[in-house]
């Protein structure tokens, strides 16, 4: 085991035109071309995708779950951002 591992890549798949690419998992590959080919073989054997993105995992930066309470706190007390916050009289239609 003295040999370096192939880098890890995160795989994102668009399941059909019009939808977002969605994270489906990860895999090892020597480079981006191989990562895309491997992703095709591993994650789209049953026509699950029409487009693949791969990103080397080391390039993904993430928010810290330990801070998530404070981090997401600013949105916590702003219910007025939701339409259901407002009362619309019954007689008003199309709103």
Interface residues with another protein (CB under 8 A) are: 1, 3-6, 8, 25-28, 30-31, 34, 41-42, 45-46, 62, 64-66
Q: How far is the CB of 61 from another protein (least distance, A)?
A: 12
Q: How far is the CB of 45 from another protein (least distance, A)?
A: 7
Q: How far is the CB of 21 from another protein (least distance, A)?
A: 16
Distance from C-alpha of 52 to C-alpha of 15, rounded to nearest angstrom: 9
Q: For another protein, which is the closer residue by CB, 19 or 30?
A: 30
**Could you please report the per-residue DSSP string of the chain?**
--SPPPPEEEEEEE-STTS-EEEEEEEE-SSHHHHHHHHHHHH-TTS--SEEEEEEGGG-----GGGHHHHTGGGTT-GGGSGGGS---TT----
Q: For another protein, which is the closer residue by CB, 34 or 55?
A: 34
Q: For another protein, which is the closer residue by CB, 19 or 42?
A: 42
């Amino acid at each position: 085991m003295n040999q370096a591992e192939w880098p890890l890549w995160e795989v994102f798949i668009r399941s059909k035109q019009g939808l977002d690419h969605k994270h489906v998992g990860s895999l090892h590959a020597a480079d981006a071309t191989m990562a895309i080919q491997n992703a095709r073989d591993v994650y789209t054997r049953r026509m699950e995708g029409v487009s693949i993105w791969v990103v080397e995992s080391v390039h993904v930066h993430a928010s810290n779950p330990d801070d998530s309470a404070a981090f997401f706190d600013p949105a916590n007390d702003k219910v007025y951002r939701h339409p259901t916050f407002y009362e619309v009289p019954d007689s008003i239609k199309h709103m």
